[in-house]
Amino acid sequence: MNDLTSHQLLNVREVKQLPFYQPVGNECALFEYAYHHQLPLLIKGPTGCGKTRFVAHMAAKMARPLITVACHDDLTAADLVGRHLIGDGQTIWSDGPLTRAVRLGGICYLDEVVEARKDTTVVLHPLTDDRRILPIERTGEELQAPQEFMLVVSYNPGYQNLLKNLKPSTRQRFIAIQFDYPPAALEQDILIKETGIDSATAQRLVKLAGHFRQLKNHDLEEAASTRLLVYAATLIKAGCDPLLACQAAMVEPLTDDLDTAAALREVIKASMAK
């Protein structure tokens, strides 16, 4: 049984078909090495660069159930491990997502793990060394993780600061992969395969994203992600006017500043002109 709170998004699924993912480097091979040798994995990269899709793809490839937790600053150790619930006049233990993943021999993916409280991530330590155990103090259990269990965490280094970072004692328990936005040619292929958009439009969208990405840390806090490009291409493929599609998918999600938005619209007009 799983306990879901209003602050916690928990997704448990077993995918039979591989979700589309375009490899950029050796990340697929590294994931497989980690999985087969029971090593925990840390994925670093900007928003919308494919981290979550990559994990879903690899979980399906390994034929393991995937349990995803969207971390937040109210996430407690009990949210991950479990708690006793009262119902129908009795107290029942409810496994949290981490405990369920251990019992199932699944892949537990903690998305944006730096958002969780530091005292919460300490619960991961016994699972990320040679013990591979999960102590459950409230039930007195000590679960031994099966070989099939894997722990994967991710975060966006762009949001790092002194208050939002992994403790060194936690970071050094993982092997790590650095993600970034794909090279232009690969990103064009992703848009074409993901949305069916024509190659000329895909090329213009990727070029537009390149212009936007140059503005990161200047006029924009975040760069235009591959995810936003997919959204724009999806709208255009459905018949939406390209300028409107790019504004809805690539301007409004990136800024609330009216002057910056106006400048970005001018860039769109120049980049998307046929």
pLDDT digits (tens, 9 = 90+) for 33-84: 999 999 999 999 999 999 999 999 999 999 999 999 999 989 999 999 999 8
DSSP state of 211: H
pLDDT of residue 162: 44
pLDDT at 274: 60
With H, G, I as helix, E, B as strand and everything else as coil, classify residue 259.
helix
Q: What is the pTM of this model?
A: 0.87
Q: Looking at 139-246, which runs of residues are DSSP E strands?
A: 141-144, 150-155, 175-178
**Residue 201 in tokens:** 């439009």
Whether 246 shows a pLDDT value over 60: the answer reads yes
Q: Region 176-183: what's the mean pLDDT?
A: 95
> In this structure, which amino acid lies at residue 207?
K
Rounded Cα–Cα distance for residues 270 and 151 (Å) = 45
Q: Is the pLDDT of residue 272 over 90?
A: no
Residue found by looking up tokens 């999600």 in the block:
253
Given a cut of 50, is residue 5 above it in pLDDT? no
State pLDDT tens for residues 25-41: 999 999 999 999 999 99
- Express each pLDDT in 76-118 by its tens digit: 999 999 998 987 778 899 999 999 999 999 999 999 999 988 7
| 195-210: pLDDT as tens digits | 999 999 999 999 999 9
Q: What is the pLDDT of residue 170?
A: 87
151 — phi, psi (to 5°)? -105, 125
Confidence of residue 7 (pLDDT cuts 50, 70, 90): very low
| pLDDT confidence of residue 117 | 84
Whether residue 212 is predicted with pLDDT greater than 60 in this model: the reply is yes
- How high is the mean pLDDT of the chain? 89
The answer for residues whose C-beta is within 8 angstroms of residue 17's C-beta and 6 or more apart is: 60
Dihedral of the alpha carbons of 230, 265, 224, 116, in degrees to the nearest 10: -110
58 phi-psi bin (left φ>0, alpha ψ -120 to 50, beta other): alpha
More confident residue, 158 or 32: 32
| Residues 257-267 pLDDT 10s | 999 999 999 99
Please say if the pLDDT value at position 270 is more than 80: yes
**Position 156 pLDDT exceeds 80:** yes
Between the CA of residue 137 and those of 36, 140, 149, 179, 218, what are the distances in Å? Answer: 29, 5, 21, 36, 48
Q: What share of the chain has pLDDT > 70, as a percent?
A: 91
